[in-house]
Amino acid sequence: MAGRWNNANKKPPRRAAKEPPGVIPSLIEPQLATLVNRPPTDGDWSYEIKFDGYRMLARVEAGNAQLFTRNGHDRSDRMPKLCAALKTLPVDNVWLDGEAVVLDAAGTPNFNALQNAFDRRSTAEIVLFFFDLLYLNGTDLREQPLKARRALLAELLGEVHTDALRLSEDFAQDPESLVASACKMKLEGIIGKRVDAPYRSGRSTDWVKLKCLLRQEFVVAGFTRLRGAKTGIRALLLGVYEPDGSFRFAGTAQQNLRPSQIAALEKKAKVLVRKTSACYNAPAPEKDRDYVWLEPQLVAELSFLEWTPNGEVRHPVFHGMREDKPAAAVTEEPVVDVENGEPVEVQTGSTRVQPGRRGNVTLSGQKISNADRVIDPVTGMKKIDLVRYYDEIAEWALPFLQDRPVSLVRAPDGIEGELFFQKHEERMRIPGITKLPVALHPNHPSLLVVDVPEALIGLAQMNVIVMFS
């Protein structure tokens, strides 16, 4: 589309970082905010509403529009109206970061309505609020300060004539009064961002979130029903993963679902039922109810008052199921005291691979141990080289791996050491991996499927050098 945002009216752009000249990145990992217990007092900050929706990154190139979740899943086919609106942007190519929401009659984001829109595949009412501009007409803007990126974003969206694409306004007022206003409006909270900071994929304290209530994702470890009942869900049994990969019971939440939602959840749960709990600290049975335990694959979002000393949530409220985050990535979200410098594991840097301690690195949120260990003495290939390779080929490899059981060959001591063949997770927990229902392979553990890039990285971390699908 012709216009002043197109390259025809601009000087040749600066080369995009990490990509060949003129090539727009195929994927960008989003920046994530750190939960804090109070507003920061140092630095220059701006604040925005924390939308109750799904994180979405929009990519437009040569008239083609795509929408990606925070984990890199392409959801373009489920939101055709938004993709059509994105195609009207007067640009050659662009990456935008934002949130997909459905607004209620009062103009407030309604997460339940958003979930229903996706469940019913009726997404015409979804609105995209954009809060960052990452790439424009061959120029990578991520190294520019937020203030400059948002100025360009506001100018670009000012030329858009559709309510489907909107600017997320920012505020310079006292953050405590903003939080109070957000809570009064029954919003989730606010997001604070350093106006002088570049865009960094991963979680950092350059972006912080202040919530009215604690709120995060939980794995559905199972549910309860009245003793002897064959159907129905009385309460959800919640779980989170510990840093060492073990699975912890995190409390019980009374469900407030409509009958249709209960039926949909029971349908999903039917193929995931297991005899015992996956939690290492499962609660004791109760006389008046039955416990139905599930494979830890379903994810729900809940708000709650606080964490108890024994690691369970107090007064949880169910908000909806989440399909945009793998269960393996669900942990207890830490709250950071920014004033006292309470330690937080922050992923920063200009690449997806982040340095860590003792030779470890982090890629796409996953810790890679012994990254510098040589796995092929002949070529000198290191484990981190294998990880990077799997990460880079994910876009092309996943179509041949998705929905197909895989068999794995692991080389924990390098290709000259002992090799191990396996078709099941066994005692390992592979981040992002999909476990098929046991019914597909009776009397055996679940077969494995590689559906997302996180699973490929997880396999590299587990020293997998061969995959058969």
For residue 140, give the H/E element and its range. Answer: strand 139-140
CATH number at residue 141: 3.30.470.30
Helix/strand/coil percent split, the chain, to 5: 20, 35, 50
My answer on whether 57 and 159 are in the same domain is yes
pLDDT at 387: 85
CATH number at residue 398: 3.90.920.10
Q: What is the DSSP letter of 4?
A: T
My answer on whether 16 and 158 are in the same domain is yes
Task: Single out the catalytic residue among 10, 11, 18, 50.
Answer: 50
My answer on whether 434 and 372 are in the same domain is yes
pLDDT at 232: 86
pLDDT at 418: 86
My answer on whether 314 and 390 are in the same domain is no
pLDDT at 8: 45
Vertex 47 angle, CA 45 and 53, to 5°: 140
Separation CA 70–CA 98 (nearest Å): 10
**Overall pTM surpassing 0.75 (yes/no):** no
Separation CA 295–CA 31 (nearest Å): 30
CA 173, chain centre distance (Å) = 29
In a domain, 106, yes or no: yes
Q: What is the DSSP string of 334-381?
A: PPB-TTTT-------SSSSEEE-STT-EEETTEEETTTT-EEETTTTE
My answer on whether 61 and 166 are in the same domain is yes
Residues 232/223, Cβ–Cβ less than 8 Å: no
Give the residue among 304, 296, 298 at the shortest CA–CA distance from 279. Answer: 296
Tell me the sheet residues that pair with 222: 237, 293
pLDDT at 241: 93
CATH number at residue 285: 2.40.50.140
Separation CA 415–CA 398 (nearest Å): 24
Host domain of residue 359: 353-468
Pairing between β-strand 289-294 and β-strand 170-171 as defined by DSSP bridges: unpaired
Number of domains in the chain: 3
Reply yes or no on whether 50 is catalytic: yes
Give the residue among 332, 91, 47 at the shortest CA–CA distance from 195. Answer: 47
pLDDT at 346: 35
My answer on whether 322 and 428 are in the same domain is no
What is the rounded end-to-end Cα distance, in angstroms, of the chain? 43
List pLDDT tens digits, range 418-468. 888 888 876 667 777 888 887 777 888 888 888 888 888 888 888 889 988
Phi, psi of 188 (to 5 degrees): -75, -30
In a domain, 334, yes or no: no
Separation CA 325–CA 202 (nearest Å): 14
In a domain, 199, yes or no: no
My answer on whether 435 and 289 are in the same domain is no
Report helix, strand or coil for 211: strand
In a domain, 206, yes or no: no
Q: Which among 122, 143, 173 is the end of a domain?
A: 173
In a domain, 2, yes or no: no
The residues of the chain scoring below 70 in pLDDT are 1-22, 337-366, 426-428
Separation CA 48–CA 333 (nearest Å): 21
